[in-house]
Amino acid sequence: MILGDGLYNFVKVLYYTLSGLYRHFNYDKTKAEEAITGNSLPDLPSPSYDDQKRTRLFLKDQIPTWIAIVGYLTIAIVSIINLPHIFHQLKWYYVAAIYLAIFVIGAWAGGSNGGVLAGLAACGVMMNVVSIASDLTHDFKTGYMTLASPRSMFVSQVIGTAMGCIITQYVFWLFYNAFDNLGVPGSEYPASYALIF
């Protein structure tokens, strides 16, 4: 049942993605051909002055595509190298497959009968990457509405993520050493969210 539902959603998302890309590229070609032949599309209402200003300011300071590609590949390489050392059941090619599949699917149904831990680690990688991308998209929308620079928002997100990677290790180590029963149900810090997983 879960496999069938996952496969259905995978095919559905893939179909909508490919059809959207086809319409996008076909629309641009049709628009260019109509401009040459003299036909025009129906007039659309012009955006307000505020919307024009927001769009102009937001698009003026874009993040170069090469930064996104290099950053994504760097994070993927670091994960491919480090995660198998942390979770021995998670092979490097599983992590590579996750990073290749992130563009197409939004959840990873990984793990085999003996590799539940590897499946949870793979799911954790996928959930974190998709969650951060979703948060950044929401932040960009807020930045667009408040006339903030997308480049400064992206740099702030990178700084915050880097700080989180450094600071959370020390906070975890502090709690781990301070409490003998950390994560035990009924203790002061039962880690109830961990029980769900």
Q: Which tokens in the block code for residue 86?
A: 């942390």
Q: Which tokens in the block code for residue 20?
A: 């959207």
Of 97, 103, 95, 98, residue with least CA distance to 78: 95
Same domain, 31 and 128: no
State the pLDDT at residue 2.
65
Q: To the nearest 10°, report the CA torsion of 10, 127, 161, 154.
A: 20
Q: What is the largest CA-CA distance in the chain?
A: 77
Look at the alpha carbons of 65, 145, 155, 124 in this order and tell me if their dihedral is positive or negative. negative
Same domain, 85 and 102: yes
Same domain, 154 and 98: yes
pLDDT tens digits, 51-103? 888 888 777 877 788 887 888 888 889 888 988 888 788 888 988 888 887 75
How high does pLDDT run on average in the chain?
Answer: 75
State the pLDDT at residue 29.
56
Same domain, 65 and 134: yes
Q: Would you say residue 154 has pLDDT above 60? A: yes
Query: What is the tally of structural domains in the chain?
Result: 2
Instruction: Give CA–CA dist 8/154, Å, rounded.
Output: 34
Instruction: Give CA–CA dist 136/138, Å, rounded.
Output: 5
Q: Other C-beta atoms within 10 Å of 110: how many?
A: 21
pTM for this predicted structure: 0.45
Contact partners, residue 125, CB within 8 Å, separation at least 6: 79, 83, 95, 98, 108
Q: Which tokens in the block code for residue 48?
A: 């307000």
Domain that holds residue 168: 50-196
Same domain, 113 and 142: yes
Same domain, 30 and 122: no
Contact partners, residue 111, CB within 8 Å, separation at least 6: 118, 119, 120, 122, 123
Mean pLDDT value across residues 33-57:
67
Q: Would you say residue 114 has pLDDT above 50? A: no
